[in-house]
């Protein structure tokens, strides 16, 4: 019998055992292929006006997904080979050479890898259309998803995962050389030692590090602290939370368990003694994995909570940034007549309001502003125009003096900060104005790439000789979200590509709510798809890692539970003891992740000036449901393993 045929026979005879390893490999391949097939889907990329700007995010996510899949498969392979160490030892006892045993393990892994690749690609091809439909729905496009087969995606998946398969196969080949025969025979009997004493100082340090991280990230967004430290402070807070999380699992929880053992009335009640004693072993052997799962879960809850909030608040964000449906510099009489015809075709009844205002395009020195380039065009509006526009929208106005100006919200993510008040702007004609106030709303649509300012009527009239006087036509439409045909025809009429950069647009202003709204829909739809996809992968992978780790330990714990059964412990109490231990283990990373992500979301909500807690709560609910499924599956399998014999 050849080694290849022996490998095939082993797989057939122990199919149930090998399936535990096959599952994570197939899952990783399906997820990765599905994602990259969407990345190379020409139908989707052609329908997106913003794909060129978002493509790097897609590429970064696919790279992250690949490395995570590699880590997940390597982790699963490590536990799979650990469970087979005794089998490998028996091969050696039967006189098979180490080289032959190594080749056997190598062939087995290659066979499993190729089988996983075939199954994964087949399932990925079938699922790619479903995920394409979900992505198209999230982006708000009207195309019909078709089954698309990307050769690039197939080759990228095959090459990437063959590298992983070969790497894990070499790792398996070296198994027989890394351990002695005695170590292989005793692999499953190796147990974690219970710590003799838990340091209260380390437990206290865990709270200190986490608290310090929370304190930094909860600093008010307008505090000078952020000006001085900024990005370094954010990184520092995350590092503190990371260290605190590790110490929390390693020391604080162990310290609490140690205190419970000192509460004699509780410790010796029912099965608490067995449950708490076993928890010492469980946690000590899983400190690293619990910490990693907690931080990955934090990232997932935060990413999903943030993108869901932005996506659900799309209407408010779009209306705040683009208050007018159509806005353009009034052209010559011929074009103006053509525009009027288009507006009539769109339906006069769709026009809820219209306004024509005067403005000055003027040169100035914006060096003190810093937030915009110094040569940015300045749009001057008179105080009377400002009051007219604000009144029509029901907005507050601010009083100011001569040689002062009013500025407006410019898309700054930090909603609570005022970046302009007190700064000076030099205008043509040797006029200098001081910014007296910063309104928290935008007066004109944000995508026109100009710096709008309001000055007193008298100053406006003085500056008319130094600037270029123009008129701006503004429309508010009832069907602004569906005026696709009108948007396209206006863009063609103005010979302005609304998707081009400012430099390509020339001096005239043209802005469309429809274009910007659907661009936002595409951007946030794609981001929520990427974050949800990665979050789903992280959830299943981390849940599976903990599941396999606990089941591996169940095999090692089997003799202990057999002794408990022999001294009279009933099956119901045995199951209850296991249930108490497993729920505690599963809750540790989950509770830490909820705490971390809630604090980060609170800080981000304050920064963005929007409520994000509802979306976070929904995400936590979905996460909890998935974790409960893993918990009950693990409980069932764990009880089954320890009850054998």
Give yes or no for residue 158 having a pLDDT over 80. yes
Does 312 share its domain with 330? no
Single out the residue in 462, 479, 496 at which a domain terminates.
479
Note whether residue 206 is domain-resident.
Answer: yes
Single out the residue in 190, 224, 241 at which a domain terminates.
190
| Residue 184: per-residue pLDDT | 59
Question: Which residues face 359 on adjacent strands?
Answer: 470
Does 335 share its domain with 446? yes
**Number of domains making up the chain:** 3
Note whether residue 285 is domain-resident.
Answer: yes
Q: Are 435 and 406 in contact (CB under 8 A)?
A: yes
pLDDT in tens, 49-77: 555 555 677 788 888 888 888 888 887 77
Of 35-44, 79-88, 434-443, give the lowest mean pLDDT range.
Answer: 79-88
| Residue 381: per-residue pLDDT | 93
Does 350 share its domain with 452? yes
Which range of 200-209, 266-275, 501-510, 602-611 scores highest in mean pLDDT? It is 200-209
- CA angle (19 as vertex; 17, 25 as ends), nearest 5: 130
Q: What is the mean pLDDT of residues 619-627?
A: 88
Does 572 share its domain with 623? yes
* Packed helices 200-217 and 571-608: angle between N→C axes, nearest 10 degrees: 30
Mean pLDDT of the chain: 81
Count of alpha carbons within 13 angstroms of residue 227, beta-carbon side: 5
- Dihedral angle over CA of 472, 477, 481, 482, nearest 10: -110
Does 150 share its domain with 80? yes
Best CA proximity match to 246, nearest among 279, 301, 291, 185: 291
Does 452 share its domain with 340? yes
Site of tokens 């009640």: 269
Note whether residue 502 is domain-resident.
Answer: no
Does 134 share its domain with 203? no
Single out the residue in 479, 498, 524 at which a domain terminates.
479
Q: How far apart are CA 194 and CA 284, in angstroms?
A: 7
| Residue 595: per-residue pLDDT | 94
Note whether residue 107 is domain-resident.
Answer: yes
pLDDT in tens, 109-125: 888 888 889 998 998 88
Note whether residue 493 is domain-resident.
Answer: no
Residue ranges making up the domain that contains 78: 1-190
Does 347 share its domain with 287? no
Q: What pTM did the predictor assign?
A: 0.75
Give yes or no for residue 201 having a pLDDT over 90. no
Does 132 share its domain with 178? yes
Confidence of residue 501 (pLDDT cuts 50, 70, 90): very low
| Residue 645: per-residue pLDDT | 54
| Residue 503: per-residue pLDDT | 42
| Residue 263: per-residue pLDDT | 80
Q: How far apart are CA 92 and CA 176, in angstroms?
A: 9
Give yes or no for residue 598 having a pLDDT over 90. yes
Residues of the chain with pLDDT > 90, as a percent, come to 12
pLDDT in tens, 312-357: 777 888 888 889 998 888 887 888 888 888 888 888 888 888 899 9
Q: What is the DSSP letter of 270?
A: T
537's CB contacts (< 8 A; 6+ apart) are 31, 65, 68
How many CB atoms are located within 10 Å of the residue 619 CB? 24
- CA angle (416 as vertex; 412, 417 as ends), nearest 5: 65
Q: Is 363 helix (H, G, I), strand (E, B) or coil?
A: coil
Give yes or no for residue 150 having a pLDDT over 70. yes
Does 269 share its domain with 337? no
What are the helix and strand counts (H, E) for the chain? 25, 10
Note whether residue 486 is domain-resident.
Answer: no
Tokens at residue 256, please? 């609490």
State the distance between the two ends of the chain, measured CA to CA, in whole angstroms: 33
Of 36-45, 204-213, 296-305, 496-505, give the lowest mean pLDDT range.
Answer: 496-505
Does 520 share its domain with 560? yes
Tokens at residue 161, please? 């995962």
Which range of 32-41, 117-126, 228-237, 281-290 scores highest in mean pLDDT? It is 117-126
Q: Are 77 and 172 in contact (CB under 8 A)?
A: yes
Give yes or no for residue 479 having a pLDDT over 70. yes
Confidence of residue 27 (pLDDT cuts 50, 70, 90): confident
Give yes or no for residue 433 having a pLDDT over 80. yes
| Residue 105: per-residue pLDDT | 79
Tokens at residue 235, please? 């990184």
| Residue 502: per-residue pLDDT | 42
Does 522 share its domain with 415? no
Of 29-43, 192-206, 376-390, 393-407, give the lowest mean pLDDT range.
Answer: 192-206
| Residue 405: per-residue pLDDT | 92
pLDDT in tens, 560-573: 777 877 777 778 88
Q: Is the dihedral of CA 141, 147, 153, 159 positive or negative?
A: positive
Note whether residue 58 is domain-resident.
Answer: yes
| Residue 594: per-residue pLDDT | 93
Give yes or no for residue 245 having a pLDDT over 90. yes
Q: What is the mean pLDDT of residues 569-588?
A: 85
pLDDT in tens, 512-540: 888 888 887 777 777 778 888 887 788 77
| Residue 504: per-residue pLDDT | 46
Note whether residue 497 is domain-resident.
Answer: no
């Amino acid at each position: 019998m050849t080694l290849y045929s022996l490998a095939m026979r082993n797989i057939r005879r122990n199919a149930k055992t090998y399936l535990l390893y096959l599952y994570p490999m197939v899952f990783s391949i399906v997820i990765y292929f599905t994602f990259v097939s969407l990345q190379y889907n020409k139908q989707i990329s052609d329908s997106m006006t913003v794909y060129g700007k978002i493509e790097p995010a897609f590429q970064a996510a696919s790279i992250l997904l690949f490395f995570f899949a590699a880590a997940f498969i390597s982790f699963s392979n490590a536990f799979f080979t650990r469970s087979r160490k005794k089998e490998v030892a028996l091969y050696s006892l039967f006189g098979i050479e180490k080289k032959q045993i190594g080749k056997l393990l190598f062939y087995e892994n290659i066979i499993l890898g190729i089988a996983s690749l075939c199954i994964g690609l087949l399932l990925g091809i079938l699922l790619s259309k479903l995920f394409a439909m979900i992505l198209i729905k999230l982006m708000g496009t009207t195309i019909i998803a078709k089954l698309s087969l990307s050769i690039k995606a197939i080759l990228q998946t095959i090459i990437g995962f063959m590298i992983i398969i070969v790497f894990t196969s070499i790792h398996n080949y070296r198994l027989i050389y890394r351990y002695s025969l005695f170590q292989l025979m005793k692999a499953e009997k190796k147990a974690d030692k219970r710590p003799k004493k838990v340091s209260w100082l380390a437990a206290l340090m865990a709270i200190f590090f986490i608290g310090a991280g929370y304190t930094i990230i909860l600093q008010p967004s307008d505090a000078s602290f952020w000006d001085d430290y900024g990005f370094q402070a954010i990184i520092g807070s995350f590092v503190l939370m990371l260290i605190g999380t590790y110490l929390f699992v390693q020391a604080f929880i162990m310290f609490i368990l140690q205190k419970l053992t000192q509460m004699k009335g509780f410790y010796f009640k029912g099965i608490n003694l067995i449950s708490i004693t076993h928890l010492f072993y469980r946690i000590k052997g899983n400190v690293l994995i619990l910490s990693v799962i907690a931080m990955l879960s934090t990232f997932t809850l935060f990413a999903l909570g943030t993108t869901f909030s932005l996506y659900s608040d799309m209407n408010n964000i779009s209306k705040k940034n683009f208050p007018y449906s159509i806005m353009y510099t009034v052209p010559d009489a011929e074009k103006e007549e053509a525009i009027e015809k288009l507006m009539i075709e769109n339906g006069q009844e769709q026009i809820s309001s219209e306004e024509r205002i005067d403005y000055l395009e003027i040169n100035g020195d914006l060096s003190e502003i810093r937030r915009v380039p110094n040569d940015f065009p300045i749009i001057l509006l008179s105080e009377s125009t400002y009051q007219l526009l604000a009144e029509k929208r029901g907005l507050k106005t601010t009083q100011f003096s001569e040689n002062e100006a009013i500025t407006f919200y410019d898309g700054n993510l930090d909603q609570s900060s005022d970046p302009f008040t007190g700064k000076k702007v030099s205008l043509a004609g040797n006029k200098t104005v001081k910014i007296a106030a910063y309104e928290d709303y935008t007066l004109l649509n944000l995508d026109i790439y100009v710096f709008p300012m309001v000055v007193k009527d008298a100053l406006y009239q003085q500056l008319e000789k130094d600037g270029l006087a123009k008129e701006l036509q503004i429309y508010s439409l009832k069907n602004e979200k569906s005026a696709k045909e009108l948007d396209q025809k206006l863009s063609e009429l103005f010979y302005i590509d609304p998707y081009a950069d400012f430099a390509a647009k020339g001096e005239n202003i043209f802005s469309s709510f429809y274009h910007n709204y659907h661009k936002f829909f595409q951007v946030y739809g794609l981001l929520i798809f990427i974050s949800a996809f990665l979050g789903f992968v992280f959830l299943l992978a981390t849940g599976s890692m903990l599941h396999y780790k606990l089941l591996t330990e169940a095999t090692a714990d089997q003799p202990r539970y057999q002794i408990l059964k022999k001294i009279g412990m009933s099956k119901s109490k045995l199951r209850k003891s296991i249930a108490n231990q497993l729920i505690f283990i599963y809750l540790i990373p989950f509770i830490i992740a909820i705490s971390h992500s809630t604090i980060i979301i609170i800080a981000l909500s304050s920064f963005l000036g929007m409520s994000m807690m509802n979306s976070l709560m929904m995400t936590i609910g979905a996460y909890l449901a998935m974790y409960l499924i893993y918990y009950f599956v693990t409980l069932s399998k764990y009880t089954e393993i320890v009850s054998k014999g």
